Amino acid sequence: MPSERIIMTPACVAEGAAWLAGQEPRFAAALELTGALPLRRRRDGFEPLLSAIVSQQVSVAAADAIWARLRTAKLTGPRKILGATEEELRACGLSRQKIRYARELAAARIRFGELRDAPLEEVIATLVAVPGIGRWTAEIYAMFSLGRADVFAPGDLALQEAVRLLFELDSRPSERILRDMAAAWSPWRAVAARLLWAYYRVAKQREGIR
């Protein structure tokens, strides 16, 4: 089993939120606005990674619409992706680039079961070896599909904007700066991410993550 904490239930999220609120007064204030944080656990495997690729560089609403069309067309499994024509995939809303990424993922034959027990950096390295999967996608997968409690996604624009607002910064922190900031939120960085996304939703009146 991985040495880091695994988020399994809402009680795990609540424990992490209470710890963060005790460490950082701004998190305590944000929790007053957001209320209880969502669990956001997903299944692991091919489908959530494909969903993450769909979500890249489009709005949450657009990603939801594309994913709904893929599901309706029953094009969310690796064999289905490899067997579909480009026209069928484009009809669901995928760009040519994302079609290539989806097919690369389907052909990669990742052993998803082994990732459940692998160290975090091994999980990240395995996933980013697939074209179309960057650090952000790998970190989101580790956070939501594997339940890792101490992973963060500082490249996420909604997290950057939430930090700018909550910490009253002049501009959005860069990925490097936000990664450094998040070190202080260990061992509950994944709960800090949930809190910041929830705060983003309250502050901006729209979702920052699917």
Average pLDDT (94-100) is 96
pLDDT, residue 169, reads 97
150 is catalytic: no
Average pLDDT (175-186) is 98
Look up residue 148 and give its DSSP letter.
B
Q: Say how many C-beta atoms besides its own lie within 10 A of residue 68's C-beta.
A: 12
Query: Mean of the per-residue pLDDT values for the chain?
Result: 95
Q: Is the pLDDT of residue 105 over 70?
A: yes
pLDDT, residue 60, reads 85
List the beta bridge partners of residue 148: 6
Q: How confident is the model at residue 3 (pLDDT cuts 50, 70, 90)?
A: low
In order of 14, 60, 182, the CA distances from 3 in angstroms are 20, 33, 19
Q: How confident is the model at residue 1 (pLDDT cuts 50, 70, 90)?
A: very low
Contact 36, 10 (CB under 8 A): yes
Q: Is the pLDDT of residue 2 over 60?
A: no
Q: What percentage of residues in the chain have a pLDDT greater than 70?
A: 99
**E strands of 19-71, at which residues?**
none
Residue among 64, 150, 156, 170 flagged as catalytic: 156
pTM attached to this predicted model: 0.90
Look up residue 154 and give its DSSP letter.
T
Q: Is the pLDDT of residue 144 over 60?
A: yes
| Residues present in the chain in total | 210
Q: Is the pLDDT of residue 210 over 60?
A: yes
Q: How confident is the model at residue 59 (pLDDT cuts 50, 70, 90)?
A: confident
